[in-house]
Amino acid sequence: MFSIIVSFVVTMLISAAITPFVRKLAFVLGAVDKPNARRVNTKAMPTMGGLAIFLSFTFSTFVILRPQFNTHLLFSLFLAETVVIITGMIDDIKELTPRQKMLGLTVAALIVYFLAGVKMTEVNLPFMHFNLGWLSLPVTIIWILAITNAVNLIDGLDGLATGVSIIALFTMGIIGFFFLSVGEAGTPIMIFTLVAALVGFLPHNFHPAKIFLGDTGALFIGFMLSVLSLQGLKNVTFVALVIPVVILGVPITDTLYAIIRRKLNNKPITQADKHHLHHRLMQMGLSHRQTVLVIYGIALIFSLIALLYPLSTFWGNILLTVALIFGLELFVESIGLLGPNRAPLLHGIRRIVKKMARDTPNSTE
């Protein structure tokens, strides 16, 4: 165990050390994010920072921690990761269309499904149990694409996606190691190795950032989050399904409400806007760094809630889920994530409170 912990530290140091070289390479290749109406950066910034994370993670898994992993799985995942990294690098340099990016991610997801064998095969929920059969393929692909793009969408501020992913992955590793017993120690070790690579990169990426993740990093992190969480979902139970969704609450919430918002405004789902969670918090008066720290706090709340699921009974999990959805909706409406006039739950609560106030007679001494 001590040698594994040392390996994590080495991974972190490698990531921190090679990031400046990746920064120089980004300038050489033209992977630079220039300011525009949709960006918050005011000067040209090198992107492609995810390459440093990928290189340090790959070196550790193939060299330092090699005996901990299944050879076939390791090489299959590496092939899929490479496809994602190449897709992200091309996008950072030349800017791909959403369809082209989706094609690259789909190819990587197919590699994971057919070569790595990481897939959902059964659903075992309360009062129902069935094999997914041919649905296993589309369900697995949709899961990978959805989580990957969710992480990509929150990559809007210095250190935001990196920090949120560290929190999510660390929680996932703890739950996988102590509670879910996914059947192999390799998965939690791989998760913590990725956490170490991200921690090494974060000082270069935190506000004021010296380098951005770029699509190279955001797509890679999102892809790995989806695949590593999928490792525990081969046989889906209620807890195994809910836990990764809750852990990834920040990117999933932001993505879900972005889709709803754009549909309500009759805008294409792929059309970017400045109404994401971090945009709304900054519009409310928070500084860049304050916004990032607040979202870190929200991610920690989601993670703490996720840790309660393995410790609760079935009905406790149901109540926890209902309370989480209720609280989340209140928060979303209070910051106007869907718009100032779209807060049905808050309006309903206010009407009930006003009615109770009218119906309550004034008490006199």
The answer to whether the annotation marks 215 as part of a ligand binding site is: yes
Under DSSP, is residue 45 helix (H, G, I), strand (E, B) or coil? strand
Alpha-carbon gap, residue 257 to 86, rounded angstroms: 29
The answer to whether the annotation marks 33 as part of a ligand binding site is: no
Alpha-carbon gap, residue 143 to 30, rounded angstroms: 32
Instruction: Name the H helices within the chain.
Output: 2-29, 50-59, 71-94, 98-111, 136-153, 160-175, 186-205, 214-230, 238-247, 249-264, 277-283, 288-308, 314-334, 344-359
Relative to beta strand 45-46, strand 122-125 is: unpaired
Q: Which of 118, 55, 111 is nearest to 80 (CA)?
A: 111
Contacts for 232 with CB less than 8 Å, ≥ 6 apart? 176, 180, 182, 187, 240, 243, 244
Buried b (16+ CB within 10 A) or exposed e, 180-191: bebeeebbbbbb
Relative to beta strand 45-46, strand 32-33 is: antiparallel
For every residue of 113-181, DSSP letters joined together read IIII-----EEEETTEEEE-GGGHHHHHHHHHHHHHHHHHHTTTSTTHHHHHHHHHHHHHHHHIIIII-
Which residues define the annotated binding site for Mg(2+)? 152, 215
Could you list the residues known to form a binding site, using ranges: 152, 215
